[in-house]
Amino acid sequence: MVHVAEVLVNERARALPELLRLVALERGRVGTLLNVQEPAFYERMLGDGGATFIAVEDGRLLGFACLAGRESVHPFWSPHLDRLGVDRSRTGVLIHAIVDPAAHGRGVGRALLVARMAAARGRGLDLLVSTVDPDNAACLGLLEGAGFRRLETRRVYSANVLRVLLARDLAGAPRSAD
Ligand SMILES: CC(C)(COP(=O)(O)OP(=O)(O)OC[C@H]1O[C@@H](n2cnc3c(N)ncnc32)[C@H](O)[C@@H]1OP(=O)(O)O)[C@@H](O)C(=O)NCCC(=O)NCCS
């Protein structure tokens, strides 16, 4: 049974090495399309930079994914937020989801997405946004399958990388991951 939960304050120190084990796996995975970050980034996502959700089975970490708030809403989202009539303070950002390659295709990615949607809704957010590499069929399939809509494909971030910009309003999203 896969159990999904948010990493609590007193669990952060124990969770970090396990997260970094999956990060290293993804960094070494042939064909990865994820812009894997430095350990400090995941430490920040465990701290005040956002919230981290983990999927665990028999005590083993199968995957994790992060959720951030207004401080991570990049200026390139502004025209879309204005058009959708959503305030930046009510917008959350899906950041990184990494599932152990040995556990792909078992619903772990979806469970981590549902947990983040519920948590975002619980935090009073109205909209979730995400940027995805246009070649990342798995991630695009996951998000579009959960009701996210493509808004634009453009170059973003200091690395000027091509990304699909997707969003989903949280009205109707599950209030809890149960
Ligand atoms: C993207 C990722 C998180 C999906 O996790 P997963 O646990 O394998 O996905 P799930 O089993 O929950 O699949 C949920 C849905 O996603 C879509 N999906 C998953 N893998 C897919 C693939 N290889 N191709 C197309 N769609 C895919 C499908 O719609 C699937 O629904 P279905 O099983 O009913 O067809 C996983 O492939 C991963 O860790 N990739 C490497 C890191 C990465 O690129 N992360 C990007 C952030 S989303």
The answer to the question of residue 82 being in a domain is yes
- Pick out the chain residues at pLDDT < 50: 177-178
- pTM, 2 dp: 0.95
The answer to the question of residue 174 being in a domain is no
- When divided into structural domains, the chain yields a total of 1
- Residue 60: strand pairing partners: 57
Give the sign of the dihedral formed by CA 146, CA 58, CA 176, CA 18: negative
Residue 111 CA: nearest ligand 1 atom is 12
The answer to the question of residue 177 being in a domain is no
- Say which CATH number the domain at 38 has: 3.40.630.30
The Å distance, Cα 92 to ligand 1 centre, comes to 21
The answer to the question of residue 35 being in a domain is yes
Contacts 24+ apart (CB under 8 A), 5-14: 5/53, 5/54, 5/56, 5/115, 6/51, 6/52, 6/53, 6/115, 6/119, 7/46, 7/51, 7/52, 7/53, 7/54, 12/46, 12/47
What is the structure's pLDDT at 74?
97
The answer to the question of residue 176 being in a domain is no
What is the structure's pLDDT at 91?
97
- Domain span holding position 123: 3-169
The answer to the question of residue 58 being in a domain is yes
Whether 33 is in the pocket of ligand 1, judged by its Cβ within 6 Å, is yes
The answer to the question of residue 175 being in a domain is no
Whether 153 is in the pocket of ligand 1, judged by its Cβ within 6 Å, is no
The answer to the question of residue 124 being in a domain is yes
- What is the per-residue pLDDT across 66-108, written as a single tens digit (0 to 9) for each? 999 989 999 999 999 999 999 999 999 999 999 999 999 999 9
What is the structure's pLDDT at 172?
65
